[in-house]
Chain A
């Protein structure tokens, strides 16, 4: 839990900053039977990012990375909207879209687990080709649909709560249950720690890897449905553009190491909320929107620096902190991090 202190602090700082500029920032009202308020907006607009980041967390926990989620977001929205515009029925459309996402995720997982390709390249393939695929599905156009039931997924309200928040909450609870109450989380972490050792210990690391990538793609697919449903259209070119980078950032800000072997779902949610709050903050404190990215870069750099042990030692001269109890795990982590972006491929090779 100690690792959550920094991200939680940054989030509180951002929220406090907002309260200074807009005193009514924290108020939540019920209007027309819907919840309204800046905090609700942050959750609502951040919902797709949180979803994608949850899937990304599990992938990163296995020592991998998934660059293709942005393309999967676009593909899911494109296929669902295409099916709806062809009068295929809502259930068929959603089932087809999510089914395709699962397939794409399994493809990523097989490339990583069975062929033994570095995750960053294996998913780069789908990242590049997937955008093309999404545009192929939409025929290069923006498909607009008019289906009130489809609109409910991302733009509607269920029991006064925006539907996106409900979906995210459900996915989060299910994921947390599966990974923290059952042994699955431990298995994922052990594959991330050392894929070969966990295979020798009797864990089906290949199966776990394929499952994790499929899960990440499924999360991205749901996020894609949400995004396209919210605007009632599918844009193969721009939907989910750069969401993979935001998701990876959210995971890293949340304290999950890119080296794998450990993850924190709560940290990821905090990280995603920081990114979304940042966007809201920029508008509410009157920073010109052109400088949004600039502001984001500064905050990201600051958060990452503060989390880096060697930075804290150098700047704050924390000799004592270096001798803190977390030393064995921490040195282990730094060693692997200095080796660059490692993938489990060395261990998974037949």
Chain B
């Protein structure tokens, strides 16, 4: 056919439609970095990029979990609270009864996954909207934080402090924290699961069209429960990373982090209706958010609220761009 020939001829020059949002986000990231490099002295160094990773490792992990949920067409509002709850449980158990970290960390991860499992089960079994269920989960986790304690609890455990202060030296004076390694490992594992396993395909199929997935005999219910469990696990792991970063547990940690995670996923080109998007996009989205903060701190004169306004404007631009692309690809 004629059209087939044209697309064949254009294939070399044109990026396939589904990668386009990720490519746009990547270009934006490069443009932002270049602008920063031109405007500010000492900006265009590798360490600035690595610092973005170091400061946002926990957000990266949380956003990975959020990507799974959003790919199925759901949403998880509880992540910020679960992060806070994790820091709180870890801090209180280690400081109060003096539990060792190798007991506390698995427990925290189990609590997070358990919360996710319960929310996923309610979403699937009782047909209640994910928005409402995870909202209740958000209240529950935040409430549990305040029940444990209303004050910030410092973490003095030697293992945690070592983890927080270790620098892993790379080449040429560049360094990262162990949290970054963990976050990158999570991203790699998650990308493998999403793109190379049967479960990953089911996640995309469920988000693309739940009815069709069901009629094809795919385990939709199990998948939905699993993605919320994964999101819970990632939030708990994010919480552990945050307690490395902050060295404290506090009920007011990570307030509004669910918005950052959702924004990162959306900027990364994942559709909130589900079924389309890549983990790489989410990574780029987190980097864009981190780079905005870096640029604003380099600028010096801009107040912190400009961060929010910039993120809002970026969200707007990206969503409109996505809208245009999806309209074109459907034609």
A117 CB contacts on chain B under 8 angstroms: 319-320, 323
Residue A115 at the chain B interface, CB threshold 8 Å? yes
A334 touches B127 (CB 8 A): yes
A337 touches B127 (CB 8 A): yes
B259 CB contacts on chain A under 8 angstroms: 124, 127-128
Instruction: Indicate whether A118 sits within 8 Å of B139 (C-beta atoms), given known contacts A132-B306, A140-B303, A311-B126.
Output: no
CA of A305 to CA of B126 in the docked complex: distance in angstroms?
7
A293 touches B308 (CB 8 A): no
Instruction: Indicate whether A128 sits within 8 Å of B136 (C-beta atoms), given known contacts A258-B131, A293-B143, A305-B128.
Output: no
Instruction: Name which of A37-45, A215-223, A244-252 contacts chain B.
Output: A244-252
CB of A294 to closest CB in B, whole Å: 3
- Interface residue ranges of A308-323 to B (CB < 8 Å): 308-311, 314
A115 CB contacts on chain B under 8 angstroms: 320, 323
CA of A116 to CA of B273 in the docked complex: distance in angstroms?
13
Residue A125 at the chain B interface, CB threshold 8 Å? yes
Interface of A is mostly: helix
A294 touches B130 (CB 8 A): no
- 16 A-B residue pairings within 8 Å (CB atoms): A125-B319, A126-B312, A128-B311, A128-B312, A129-B315, A140-B305, A245-B77, A248-B135, A290-B150, A291-B143, A294-B143, A300-B135, A305-B128, A310-B125, A339-B211, A341-B130
CA of A136 to CA of B143 in the docked complex: distance in angstroms?
31
Instruction: Indicate whether A341 sits within 8 Å of B319 (C-beta atoms), given known contacts A128-B312, A258-B129.
Output: no
Residue A3 at the chain B interface, CB threshold 8 Å? no
Interface of B is mostly: helix
CA of A131 to CA of B303 in the docked complex: distance in angstroms?
13
Chain B 158-197, CB within 8 Å of chain A: the 1/0 string?
Answer: 0000000000000000000000000000000000000000
Give me 20 other A-B pairs in contact (C-beta within 8 A), A136-B306, A293-B142, A338-B210 excluded.
A115-B320, A117-B323, A118-B273, A128-B259, A128-B315, A129-B309, A129-B311, A129-B312, A129-B316, A132-B306, A135-B305, A135-B308, A248-B131, A290-B147, A291-B143, A293-B139, A297-B139, A304-B133, A311-B125, A340-B274
A121 touches B272 (CB 8 A): yes
Residue B327 at the chain A interface, CB threshold 8 Å? yes
Residue B132 at the chain A interface, CB threshold 8 Å? yes
- Interface residue ranges of A92-106 to B (CB < 8 Å): none
A310 CB contacts on chain B under 8 angstroms: 125-127
- Interface residue ranges of B260-275 to A (CB < 8 Å): 262-263, 266, 272-274
- Interface residue ranges of A108-138 to B (CB < 8 Å): 115-118, 120-122, 124-133, 135-136
A136 touches B133 (CB 8 A): no
A121 touches B266 (CB 8 A): yes
CA of A297 to CA of B150 in the docked complex: distance in angstroms?
18
B127 CB contacts on chain A under 8 angstroms: 308-310, 334, 337-338
CB of A125 to closest CB in B, whole Å: 5
Residue B246 at the chain A interface, CB threshold 8 Å? no
CA of A129 to CA of B142 in the docked complex: distance in angstroms?
24
B131 touches A291 (CB 8 A): no
Chain A 310-350, CB within 8 Å of chain B: the 1/0 string?
Answer: 11001000000000000000000010011111000000010
CA of A291 to CA of B146 in the docked complex: distance in angstroms?
7
B150 touches A136 (CB 8 A): no
- Interface residue ranges of A234-291 to B (CB < 8 Å): 236, 245, 248-249, 252, 258, 290-291
CA of A308 to CA of B273 in the docked complex: distance in angstroms?
23
B305 touches A125 (CB 8 A): no
Residue A301 at the chain B interface, CB threshold 8 Å? yes
A339 touches B319 (CB 8 A): no
Chain B 115-146, CB within 8 Å of chain A: the 1/0 string?
Answer: 00000001001111111110111111011101
Residue A296 at the chain B interface, CB threshold 8 Å? yes
A122 CB contacts on chain B under 8 angstroms: 319
CA of A131 to CA of B255 in the docked complex: distance in angstroms?
14
CB of B158 to closest CB in A, whole Å: 30
CB of A120 to closest CB in B, whole Å: 6
CA of A121 to CA of B266 in the docked complex: distance in angstroms?
9
Q: Among A136, A291, A339, which residue has its beta carbon within 8 angstroms of that of B305?
A: A136
CA of A65 to CA of B135 in the docked complex: distance in angstroms?
14
Q: Among B128, B146, B306, which residue has its beta carbon within 8 angstroms of that of A293?
A: B146
B274 CB contacts on chain A under 8 angstroms: 340
- Interface residue ranges of B267-321 to A (CB < 8 Å): 272-274, 303-309, 311-313, 315-316, 319-320
Q: Which residue of B lies closest to A120 (CB)?
A: B272
Of listed A65, A136, A340, residue having the most chain B CB within 10 A? A340
Residue B73 at the chain A interface, CB threshold 8 Å? yes
Q: Which residue of B lies closest to A302 (CB)?
A: B136
Residue A83 at the chain B interface, CB threshold 8 Å? no
B144 CB contacts on chain A under 8 angstroms: 294
CB of B322 to closest CB in A, whole Å: 9
CA of A258 to CA of B123 in the docked complex: distance in angstroms?
14
Residue B237 at the chain A interface, CB threshold 8 Å? no
B135 touches A245 (CB 8 A): yes
A305 CB contacts on chain B under 8 angstroms: 122, 126, 128
CA of A135 to CA of B140 in the docked complex: distance in angstroms?
29
CB of A218 to closest CB in B, whole Å: 21
CA of A65 to CA of B142 in the docked complex: distance in angstroms?
24
Residue A157 at the chain B interface, CB threshold 8 Å? no
CB of A179 to closest CB in B, whole Å: 23
B143 touches A296 (CB 8 A): yes
Chain B 220-259, CB within 8 Å of chain A: the 1/0 string?
Answer: 0000000000000000000000000000000000000001
B128 CB contacts on chain A under 8 angstroms: 304-305, 308
Of listed B274, B323, B327, residue having the most chain A CB within 10 A? B323
Q: Among A132, A309, A340, which residue has its beta carbon within 8 angstroms of that of B309?
A: A132
Residue A6 at the chain B interface, CB threshold 8 Å? no
B319 CB contacts on chain A under 8 angstroms: 117, 121-122, 125
CB of B323 to closest CB in A, whole Å: 6
A341 touches B75 (CB 8 A): yes
A341 touches B139 (CB 8 A): no
B139 touches A337 (CB 8 A): no
A309 CB contacts on chain B under 8 angstroms: 127
Residue B74 at the chain A interface, CB threshold 8 Å? yes
